[in-house]
Chain A
Amino acid sequence: MTPKDAALRLARRGQIVTILALVGLVGVYVRAIVYTPTEASQGLAQKIFYIHAPVAIMALGAFLVTGLLSLVYLWLKDLKIDRAAASSAEVGVVFSVIMLTTGPIWGKPIWGTWWSWDARLTFTLFLFLMFVSYLVMRGSVLDPEQRARFSAVFGILGLVLVPFIHLTVYMFRTLHPDPVVIKPSGPSMPAAMTQTFLLSIGVFVVLYVGYVMQRHALAHLEALHEEEALGDS
């Protein structure tokens, strides 16, 4: 099987995984809207939580994957790993944006403002900005090997930065107590809600994997195309 065929096969499989995940997502939502009890104080708006929280978790997960793959790249020096790291970052950007838009949509009816500097929203905002910086930097470096090396350095720096950002936001927030926020936290949710929540996380993990598979395959095809166009005969 040629590399091109392998990439196309990966893309097809990624599409299947993605479609399965999207079907699963519809299922989760049917369950969330129809079968899961509505939270007393927040009403229907709370239902967005089943997208909002898992997508935030996945955004962070995507970032960690990018950071870890950066370390692996420095060890193995295989460009495939760099492409995988970048694919994870692109999917992570999208997930962060979803979280940052669903957050205010949820928040407005409940807090009365579109944006509150809630710890998790703020943290995800910074995550989003780091993803964007990573991708902007990649766009400005032409040589694939240099791009991989620079991305790896930035990825590792970002990985170490994440706990510091979390700590900073947390310490800042404890100075100024939140306005009264009614947000269901994990353990204190009734069983039905927890199940829906976990189901949603599972679906989003599969969605992440599906998207990354497709993006990675696409990146590989791009690389093969460049190699054909510019490479030695």
Chain B
Amino acid sequence: MLLSAEGLARRFGYRSIFKNIGFSLNSGDALVLVGPNGAGKTTLLRVLAGLLRPSAGEVKRNVSVGLVSHNSMLYDALTAEENMRFAARLHGTVSNGRIETLLDRLGMLRWRDERVGTFSRGMTQRLAIARALLGSPKVLLLDEPLSGLDDPGTEVVREVIVEHMAGDGGLIVVTHQFERLSAVATHVGYLVGGGLQGPSTMDGLSADSVMQRYRSLLADG
């Protein structure tokens, strides 16, 4: 088992963002969590990544975790390569070759000497993914990874996800657009009303049925 959550809750002051979230993630699991904006998807990922302490419950991380959020966590004034080098130095065990390989894999090699501040949303996203992969994490947490990406960008990210899963990794993606990631999902969960419905496996479920279930859960309120 790569990562598990039990009874997870997070409050802001006295307002509950979510509670009673529990599941476990094994090798080869790609869990897609569907939820509307403001449902606490980003906060949940940050708790799972260890950036936030849960107000209740616990997260067990047995492997290293990488996070790609809608904040790039990059320095606008530095180039793509400089950002990668800095992150690599923090990890300490990353070779120069790996930086090049990752930049190439995410199609960012030709912008290696351009400042991140000049990048489009799609380019920033791809660099953020490259950075997250530097530490060779076994679990990837992705927050709306395809938002703002054009078709080639989306293809690259999908390929990276497939490669990651092929390496016995685990994946948790939060999104409000399930269709775009339905192909990679092995499990689906619904983050609605401050709680988690599921997760259930994707066996026998189509993308349409997932969206139907999601819409009906939203309507219930």
**Chain A residues proximal to chain B, CB less than 8 Å:** 142-145, 223, 226-227, 229-232
Total of A-B residue pairs, C-beta within 8 Å: 21
Contact for A143 among B13, B16, B19, B194, CB less than 8 A: B13
- When chains A and B are docked, how far (Å) is the Cα of A229 from the Cα of B13? 11
Residue of A nearest to B55 (CB): A145
CB distance from B43 to the nearest CB of A (A): 12
Specify which of B12, B14, B19 lies most central, judged by the most chain A CB atoms within 10 Å of its CB. B14
CB distance from A124 to the nearest CB of B (A): 34
Interface contact B13-A144, CB-CB below 8 Å: yes
- Tell me if A's interface is mostly helix, strand, loop or mixed: helix
Q: Does B89 contact A (CB under 8 A)?
A: no
Interface hits, B186-211 → A, CB 8 Å? 194
Contact for B194 among A144, A145, A223, A232, CB less than 8 A: A232
Q: Could you mark each residue 1-43 of chain B with 1 if its beta carbon is under 8 Å from any beta carbon of chain A, else 0?
A: 0000000000011111001000000000000000000000000
Interface contact A232-B13, CB-CB below 8 Å: no
- Tell me if B's interface is mostly helix, strand, loop or mixed: strand
- When chains A and B are docked, how far (Å) is the Cα of A229 from the Cα of B14? 9
Interface contact B12-A232, CB-CB below 8 Å: no
Contact for B12 among A143, A223, A227, A229, CB less than 8 A: A143
Interface contact B14-A231, CB-CB below 8 Å: yes
Given A144-B14, A231-B16, A232-B16, 14 more contacts at CB 8 Å? A143-B13, A223-B14, A226-B13, A226-B14, A227-B14, A229-B14, A230-B13, A230-B14, A230-B15, A231-B14, A231-B15, A232-B15, A232-B19, A232-B194
The 3 closest A-B CB pairs, nearest first, are: A232-B16, A227-B14, A230-B14
CB distance from A42 to the nearest CB of B (A): 53
- When chains A and B are docked, how far (Å) is the Cα of A226 from the Cα of B14? 7
- When chains A and B are docked, how far (Å) is the Cα of A143 from the Cα of B13? 5
Residue of B nearest to A224 (CB): B14
Residues of B within 8 A of A145 (CB): 13
Residues of B within 8 A of A230 (CB): 13-15
CB distance from B38 to the nearest CB of A (A): 15
Residue of B nearest to A225 (CB): B14
Specify which of B13, B19, B194 lies most central, judged by the most chain A CB atoms within 10 Å of its CB. B13
CB distance from B10 to the nearest CB of A (A): 11
